[in-house]
Amino acid sequence: MERFSLDMLPEGATGRILGFRLKGVIRSRLQDIGLIPGTAVTCIQKGTDLAAYRIRGAVVALRNADARGIVIQREQH
């Protein structure tokens, strides 16, 4: 099983959240919007400092620095 951070997920690809390297308020905020282990996340679009992800049917923008703290496994289709 290959693990890597969410910011490394290419546009159009989907991964499943395995866990976090984040602590405190940012971790709680991400969990509040539905980012919990087992959740599927699809990268919609990447920018210089932000990326858009589809999470539970909603599109959420995350800073790349925050996405680096989310550990995922890429889904194979």
Higher-scoring residue by pLDDT: 1, 33: 33
For the chain, what are the domain ranges?
3-74
pLDDT of residue 18: 96
Domain 3-74 superfamily per CATH: Ferrous iron transport protein A (FeoA) (2.30.30.90)
Instruction: Decide: pTM greater than 0.85.
Output: yes
Show Cβ contacts of residue 51 under 8 Å, excluding neighbours closer than 6 positions.
7, 43, 44, 45, 61, 62, 64, 67
Task: Compute the distance between CA of residue 12 and CA of residue 14 in angstroms, rounded to an integer.
Answer: 7
Task: Compute the distance between CA of residue 65 and CA of residue 47 in angstroms, rounded to an integer.
Answer: 12
